[in-house]
Amino acid sequence: MNFTDYSLNLMLSVFLIVGAYQFYFWCQSHPLAMPRELKLKLDERIPYRPNWVWIYSFLYYPAILYLNWVVDSPSEFTRMAGSFLLLLGLQMAFFIAFPVTTPASWRQLNARRTLAERFLAYVQRVDAPSNCFPSMHVSVATLTALHLYPALGAWALLFPVLIAASAVFTKQHYLADLPAGAALGWATFKIFARMA
């Protein structure tokens, strides 16, 4: 691949990320049922740690965009982008048919005292408390890590682990959302691996 290929892939990646969020936000206002809560007693024992918002937001996108530097050809990029589009479609099906929301009390923990809390408040203002199950952050991070595994080895798996931790410490997700998100990302990767 040459510089033009990498530049074009990077622009397409940004476009796909921004475009995916339009579908994500659409699902928040078009559920087929009333959003439910999946809170377990263990969820309440997880402490609120707003500083994890930096991992939740600022590790997430650079790691996804890093995929552009590990692909070997435009066709590999196309297949990889296709896997993310399939994942988006599967996530949308869950968000519309099985809407899950976090409790209002979790967002009330944010006192907006620190820079991290103010940024988390911005994230929460843009993103409604629904579309929790399965965790889109974790499913995308898992799919990303599986695509990165040949280049980075086991280090790639640290990405979904950190994202999962940030999702619960910022009180953006339930524990149940995490394995469901990881399973959905893994299943999507396996489907595309068979097609390659």
Please write the tens of the pLDDT for every residue from 50-106.
Answer: 999 999 999 999 999 999 999 989 889 999 999 999 999 999 999 999 999 999 999
Residue with tokens 């009180």: 171
- Average pLDDT rounded to a whole number, residues 30-37: 93
How much is the mean pLDDT over the chain?
94
- Average pLDDT rounded to a whole number, residues 17-33: 91
179-194 pLDDT, tens digit per residue, is 999 999 999 999 988 8
Provide the H-helix boundaries in 29-170.
41-45, 53-54, 60-66, 74-97, 104-107, 115-126, 136-152, 158-169
- Please give the single-letter amino acid code of residue 152: L
In angstroms, the CA 142 to CA 132 distance is 16
How far is C-alpha 147 from the geometric centre of its chain's CA atoms?
Answer: 15
Which residue in 186, 173, 98 sits closest to 140, CA to CA? 186
Q: Give the SS3 label for residue 170.
A: coil
91-149 pLDDT, tens digit per residue, is 999 999 999 999 999 999 999 999 999 999 999 999 999 999 999 999 999 999 999 99
Q: Give the SS3 label for residue 151.
A: helix
Note the pLDDT of residue 196.
67
| Residue 5, pLDDT above cutoff 90 | no
DSSP state of 58: I
Return the beta strands (E) in the chain as ranges: none
